[in-house]
Copies of this chain bind each other. A is one copy, B any other.
Amino acid sequence: MLSAVTIDAMPLDRRQRRRLETIEEVLDVAVEIMTEQGVAGLSIGEVARRMGIRPPSLYVYFASKEAMYDAVFLRGARAILAHMREHTAGVATDPRPLHDVLLDAGQAMVTWSVHHPAYTQLLFWRPVPGFTPSEQSYAPAVELVEHSRANFVTLQDRGLIRADVDVDDALRDWTILIAGVVSQQLSNAPHESVDDGAFTSRLPNLVAMYCDHYSPPAKGNRNARKR
C-alpha cells in the first residue's frame, strides 16, 4: 500500500490533497491569530485577510467559526498527545528514580504548553464563551488523560509510587502542579524561556517535593510517615 499522509491512510487525488493543504494553512493562520490576539480574538475576516482571500471562501472548508475552533482543538489535542507519548514512551522500563522520570514528563508538558500558548488555552482553559469541542475532537484529549493515568499505574506497579496511595489522587496532585506552573508562567511572564522562566524553573524543585511525598520510604528507612 502507498504511504499516506492522512489519518485515513488512504491515497488522495490532487484535488483532495490540495484541499487538505489549504485547511492546514487556515489552521496555521488561525493559531497565529489566537497567539497574538488571544484565543477569543479569532475572526474569520482576519484569517481571510492574512491568507489573501475573501471571508466567504473560508466557508468552503469550515461550516462555521465554531467548526474552525473545533479543528484547531483537534489539532492541538493530537499534537500534545503525540508529544507526550513520545516523551513518556519509556516509563514502563525506565531504570531511573521516580524524580527523573517525572521531571522529564513534566518538562515535556510544560515546554510544549509554554511554546504553544494558544493551543494550551483552548485545550485546558475555557476562554471562548460559546465553544464546546465535538466528541471527535475531544477524544485525543481523553486519550491523553488515560495515557497519563496508565503511566501512573505503571509507576505504582513498579514500586516507584507508594502502594498505599490512590493513584487518582497522585495523578490529580500531579496535574495541579503542572497546571500551576504553566498557568503562572503564561499569565505572568509568557515570553520568558522555559529554562529560566520564573515559574517553569521551579519545576525540578516541585517534582522533588512531589517525589518526597509519593515515593515509598527508602529501604530500611525508620521514618516512614504514616498517613
Binds B, one of A51-59, A93-101, A179-187: A179-187
Q: Assess the A209–B124 pair: CB atoms within 8 A.
A: no
Q: Assess the A187–B129 pair: CB atoms within 8 A.
A: no
Given pairs A124-B187, A125-B125, A173-B205, 19 additional interface contacts (CB within 8 A)? A37-B129, A38-B127, A38-B128, A38-B129, A40-B127, A126-B187, A172-B202, A173-B206, A175-B184, A176-B177, A176-B181, A176-B199, A176-B202, A180-B180, A183-B183, A208-B213, A209-B213, A212-B213, A223-B223
Q: Is A210 an interface residue (CB 8 A)?
A: yes
Q: Is A178 an interface residue (CB 8 A)?
A: yes
CA distance A44 to B129 in the complex (A): 17
CA distance A169 to B209 in the complex (A): 13
> Interface on A for B, CB 8 Å cutoff?
37-38, 40-41, 124-129, 169, 172-173, 175-181, 183-184, 187, 198-199, 202, 205-206, 208-210, 212-213, 223, 225
Given known pairs A124-B187, A180-B183, A187-B125, the reply for A173 and B209 (CB within 8 Å) is yes
Q: Which residue of B lies closest to A131 (CB)?
A: B38
Q: Which residues of B contact A177 (CB under 8 A)?
A: 176-177, 180
Q: Which residue of B lies closest to A198 (CB)?
A: B172
Chain copies in the assembled complex: 2
CA distance A185 to B189 in the complex (A): 22
CA distance A37 to B127 in the complex (A): 10
Chain B nearest CB from A38 CB (Å) reads: 4
A-B contact pairs, 10 of them (CB 8 A): A38-B127, A38-B128, A40-B129, A41-B129, A169-B202, A172-B199, A172-B202, A177-B177, A179-B183, A208-B213
Given known pairs A124-B187, A183-B125, A187-B126, the reply for A206 and B176 (CB within 8 Å) is yes
